[in-house]
């Protein structure tokens, strides 16, 4: 990402199509929601208490109560306030969990942080103070040759969960691939962890009920050893750093204690306006009516552009678009590395993200790691269509030169 920023800054007037961003677009309806919630907070007698005073490390009480009520009604749960923790973004939540449940133990051993399906979110690569503790597993691939599509699946014949495992983390829907693990796959992972009381953190930053960036049917999974992890970044509050953890009180208490020492608590202003948006039902409605359709149409646009521009005789494969705000492309037998392809695309004015950065913890050699690209859906329709034409032309040249 540093190279991308430097490229854009040093462009000297050159126009780039930037399809690298993970920053959500500012949708008018979403911005207006947060303006309305801010106006409501400013007019409230709670304003001073929210902004001018410290609060509980667990989070703003009204937000916690609102989440418990909403999820109990929506999913038939029996949550109380002790089952919920508000964190300063979900990244800090994974840092707390990785080092509270995994990493160095009191007897000098190492508890592993397991990523059961690689590739996955690149940010997991920096959450553990002891890098040797992070272990990822290679997936199996379901490939549809004629359709030029594929899907990653966990390889349960290889996945190892033992007493040496501290916690398990995966994103659902996935950043970077848009993959959604099935209920059955999630159930198998939690069942493997259960005998050892291992926490399973499900990164639901793109999941329903908000931002609801799932394009196929899915429901959040809960359980005694599951920590359901959410973020409000993709519903228009990335600057406020609001993460949410939902789980058993024994696991939430551990994370709260860690957080108290780390940062006291998350932004109270962000928590307060989020509470208003959730309690009114507006946040879930905005997610379903505006955020999801907007990005789903972007994926369809990208898919159609690729099918139109990419030569049918080349071994390119688009991961099934099941959710999130990215597309993931695999170029089988790519004659150059993903980073070299990224550099060539920059020369024609297209910026994407090399895929090899999304395999944290996967130590074994695997050519596939250098054959993928992540493409953001945050560009305009025109940028996406033109970008896929540029991509197709460069990739075709790369394969032709190798033969």
pLDDT recorded at residue 1: 65
What pLDDT shows up at residue 10?
A: 72
Q: Where in the chain is the domain with CATH 3.90.1150.10?
A: 2-29+285-396
Residues in the chain: 403
Confidence grade of residue 13 (pLDDT, cut at 50, 70, 90): low
Mean pLDDT of the region 221-231: 97
Query: What would be the CATH architecture of the domain defined by 2-29+285-396?
Result: Alpha-Beta Complex (3.90)
With 90 as the cut, is the pLDDT of residue 79 above it? yes
pTM here? 0.96
Residue 11 confidence (pLDDT): 65
Residue 9 has pLDDT above 90, yes or no: no
Query: Which regions of the chain carry the CATH code 3.40.640.10?
Result: 45-140+151-281
For residue range 168-217, list pLDDT tens digits in order: 999 999 999 999 999 999 999 999 999 999 999 999 999 999 999 999 99
Question: Does domain 45-140+151-281 fall into CATH 3.30.2270.10?
Answer: no
Averaged pLDDT for residues 255-279: 93
Which pLDDT band holds residue 19 (cuts at 50, 70, 90)?
A: very high
């Amino acid at each position: 990402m540093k190279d991308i920023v430097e490229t854009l800054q040093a462009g000297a007037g050159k126009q780039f199509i930037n399809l690298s961003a993970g920053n959500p677009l500012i949708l008018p309806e979403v911005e207006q929601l947060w303006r309305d919630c801010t106006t409501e907070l400013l007019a409230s007698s709670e304003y001073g208490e929210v902004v001018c005073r410290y609060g509980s490390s667990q989070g703003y009480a009204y937000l916690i109560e609102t989440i418990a009520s909403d999820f109990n009604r929506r999913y038939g749960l029996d949550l109380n306030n002790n089952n919920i923790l508000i964190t300063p973004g979900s990244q800090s939540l994974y840092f707390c969990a990785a080092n509270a449940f995994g990493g160095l133990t009191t007897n000098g051993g190492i508890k592993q942080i397991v990523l059961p399906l690689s590739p996955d979110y690149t940010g997991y690569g920096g959450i553990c103070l002891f890098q040797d503790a992070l272990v990822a597993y290679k997936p199996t691939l379901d490939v549809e040759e004629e359709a030029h599509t594929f899907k990653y699946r966990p390889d349960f014949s290889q996945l190892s969960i033992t007493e040496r495992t501290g916690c398990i983390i995966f994103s659902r829907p996935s950043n970077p691939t848009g993959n959604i693990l099935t209920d059955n796959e999630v159930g198998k992972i939690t069942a493997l962890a259960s005998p050892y009381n291992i926490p399973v953190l499900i990164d639901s930053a793109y999941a329903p009920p908000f931002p609801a960036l799932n394009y196929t049917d899915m429901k959040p999974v809960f359980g005694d050893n599951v920590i359901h992890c959410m973020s409000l970044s993709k519903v228009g509050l990335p600057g406020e750093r609001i993460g949410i953890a939902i789980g058993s009180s024994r696991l939430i208490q551990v994370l709260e204690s860690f957080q108290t020492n780390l940062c006291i608590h998350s932004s109270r202003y962000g928590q307060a306006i989020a509470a208003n948006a959730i309690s009114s039902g507006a946040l879930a409605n905005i997610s379903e009516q505006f955020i999801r359709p907007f990005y789903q149409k972007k994926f369809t646009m990208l898919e159609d552009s690729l099918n139109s521009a990419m030569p049918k005789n080349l071994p390119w494969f688009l991961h099934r678009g099941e959710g999130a705000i990215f597309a993931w492309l695999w170029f089988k037998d790519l004659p150059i590395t993903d980073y070299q392809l990224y550099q060539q695309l920059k020369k024609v004015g297209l910026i994407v993200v090399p895929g090899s950065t999304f395999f944290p913890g996967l130590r074994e050699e695997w050519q596939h790691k250098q054959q993928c690209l992540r493409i953001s859906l945050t560009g305009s329709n025109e940028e996406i269509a033109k970008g896929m034409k540029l991509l197709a032309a460069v990739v075709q040249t790369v394969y032709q030169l190798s033969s």
